[in-house]
Chains A and B, each alone.
Chain A
Amino acid sequence: MSRISRILLAGVTLLAVAAPAAAETFRWGASRDIGSLDPYSYGDSFTLGVLNHIYEGLVRYDRDLKIESALATSWEIVSPTTWRFKLREGVKFHNGADFTAEDVQASLKRAADPKSPLKGNIPAYKGSRVIDDHTIEIDVTENYPLLLNDLTTIYIFDAGWLKDNNAEAPTDVGAGVEGYATYNANGTGPFKVESRQPDAKSVFVKFDGWWDKPVHNLDRIEFSPVASDATRVAALLAGDIDFTDKAPVQDIPRLEASPNVKLLEGTDLRTVMLGFSQRDQLISGAPNPMKDLRVRQALQISIDLDLIQKRVMRGKSRNAGTLVAPPIPGYDAALDTPVKADPEKAKALLKEAGAEGFEFDFNCSDTLVNEEQICQAIASMWSRIGLKPKLDQGPRAVQTPKRSGGKVDVYTLGWATLPMLDGYSLTSQVLHTKEGTFGIFNWGGWSDKEFDKLTEASSTELDRTKRLALVTESLKVARDHALMIPLHQQPLTWATTDKVADLPLMPDNLPRLWLVKK
Chain B
Amino acid sequence: MIVFLIKRIGNAILVMLTVAFLAFLIFRFLGDPVEMMMNESATQVERDELRARLGLNDSFLVQYGRFVVNAAQGEFGLSWRNQQAVTTLIAERFPATFELVLIATFISLVIGIPLGVFTAIGRGRWWAESLQFTSVVGVSLPSFLVGILLILTFSVSLGWLPGYGRGEVVPLGWWTTGLLTSSGRAAVVLPALSLSLFQITLVMRLVRAEMLETLRADFIKFARARGVPRRSLWFRHALKNCLMPVITLTAMQIGNLIAFALVTETVFQWPGMGMLFMQAVTFVDIPVMAAYLCIVSFIFVVLNTVVDIAYAVIDPRLRKS
Q: Which residues of A contact B (CB under 8 A)?
A: 10-11, 14-15, 17-18, 35-36, 38, 41, 114-115, 117, 119-120, 171, 173-179, 182-183, 197-201, 224, 226-228, 230-231, 234-235, 237-238, 240, 395, 397-398, 401, 404-405, 437, 440
* A11-B81 contact, Cβ under 8 Å, with A17-B182, A227-B269, A404-B40: no
What chain B residues lie within 8 Å of A395 (beta carbons)? Answer: 282-283
From the candidates A11, A36, A174, A200, name the one contacting B271 in the complex (CB within 8 A).
A200
**Do residues B151 and A175 form an inter-chain contact, with CB atoms below 8 A?**
no
* A199-B275, A231-B151 known; A398-B83 Cβ under 8 A: no
Restricting to B23-45, which residues have a CB under 8 Å from any CB of A? 35-37, 39-41
User: Is B138's beta carbon under 8 Å from chain A?
Assistant: no
Flag if B83 contacts A178 (CB, 8 Å): yes
| Closest chain B residue to A366, Cβ basis | B282
Q: Is the CB of B83 within 8 A of A17?
A: no
Closest to B77 in A: A176
Known contacts A174-B54, A231-B151, A397-B283; A197 and B182 CB within 8 A of each other: no
Q: Is B165 close to A, CB under 8 A? A: yes
**Count the B residues whose beta carbon is within 8 Å of the partner chain — how many?**
46
A15 touches B151 (CB 8 A): no
Contact A198 B39 (CB under 8 A): no
Q: Can you give 25 contacting A-B residue pairs, CB < 8 Å?
A: A14-B160, A14-B161, A18-B183, A36-B82, A41-B83, A120-B41, A171-B83, A178-B88, A182-B82, A182-B84, A183-B84, A198-B84, A198-B89, A199-B271, A201-B165, A201-B271, A234-B155, A235-B162, A235-B164, A238-B155, A395-B282, A397-B81, A397-B282, A404-B40, A437-B41
Contact between chains at A173 and B164 (CB < 8 Å) = no
Residues of chain A within 8 A (CB-CB) of B84 are 178, 182-183, 198
Q: Nearest-CB distance from B52 to chain A (Å)?
A: 10
**B123-178 CB contacts (< 8 Å) to partner A:** 151, 155-156, 158-166
Within the complex, the shortest CB–CB distance from B53 to chain A, in Å, comes to 6
- Nearest-CB distance from B82 to chain A (Å)? 5
Contacts of A35 in B (CB 8 A): 81-82
Least Cβ–Cβ distance between B69 and chain A, in angstroms: 14
The answer for the CA separation of A409 and B279 in the assembled complex, in Å, is 27
Q: A17-B183, A200-B271 are in contact. Are A231 and B164 (CB under 8 A)?
A: yes
Residue of B nearest to A119 (CB): B39
Is B209 on the interface with A (CB-CB < 8 A)?
no
CB-CB < 8 A to B283: which residues of A? 395, 397-398
Collect the chain A residues with CB atoms within 8 Å of residue B284's CB. Answer: 397-398
CB of B163 within 8 A of CB of A235, answer yes
Q: How far is the CA of A475 from the CA of B276 in the complex (A)?
A: 43
Q: For A199, what are the chain B residues with a Cβ–Cβ distance below 8 Å? A: 271, 275-276, 279
Residues of chain B at the chain A interface (Cβ within 8 Å)? 35-37, 39-41, 46, 50, 53-54, 77-78, 80-85, 88-89, 92, 151, 155-156, 158-166, 182-183, 186, 267, 269, 271, 275-276, 279, 282-285
CA–CA, A178 and B165, complex, Å? 26
Chain B contacts of A437 at CB under 8 A?
41
Bound Cα distance from A225 to B242, whole angstroms: 45
Cα distance, A231 to B164, chains bound together (Å): 7
Residues of B with C-beta under 8 A to A41: 83
A14, A15, A38: which has the most chain B beta carbons within 10 Å?
Answer: A14
> Smallest CB-CB separation from B154: which chain A residue?
A11
| Residue in B155, B164, B166 whose CB lies within 8 Å of A226 | B164
**Contact A117–B39 (Cβ < 8 Å):** yes
Q: Are B279 and A440 in contact, with the CB atoms below 8 A?
A: no
CB-defined contacts of A197 to chain B, threshold 8 Å:
92, 271
Q: A197-B271, A199-B276 are in contact. Are A179 and B54 (CB under 8 A)?
A: no
Instruction: Point out the residues of chain A lying under 8 angstroms from B39, CB to CB.
Output: 115, 117, 119
A173 and B80 form a contact (CB under 8 A): yes
A274 → chain B closest CB, angstroms: 20
A363, B276: Cα distance in complex, Å: 26
- Distance of A398 Cα from B30 Cα, bound (Å): 12
Q: Is the CB of B83 within 8 A of A182?
A: yes
Min CB distance B139 to A, Å, is 26
CA distance A198 to B81 in the complex (A): 11
Q: Give the CA-CA distance A440 to B39 in the complex, in Å.
A: 11
Chain B residues near A228: list those with CB within 8 A: 164, 267, 269
* Nearest CB in chain A: distance from B103 CB, A: 17
Interchain CA distance A139-B36 in the complex, whole Å: 32
A contact residues around B162 at 8 Å (CB) = 18, 235, 238, 240
- Since A17-B186, A198-B89, A237-B159 are in contact, a sample of 16 more A-B pairs with Cβ atoms closer than 8 Å, ordered by chain A residue number, is A11-B158, A11-B160, A14-B182, A41-B83, A173-B37, A173-B83, A175-B53, A178-B78, A183-B84, A199-B271, A199-B275, A200-B271, A230-B151, A230-B156, A238-B159, A397-B283
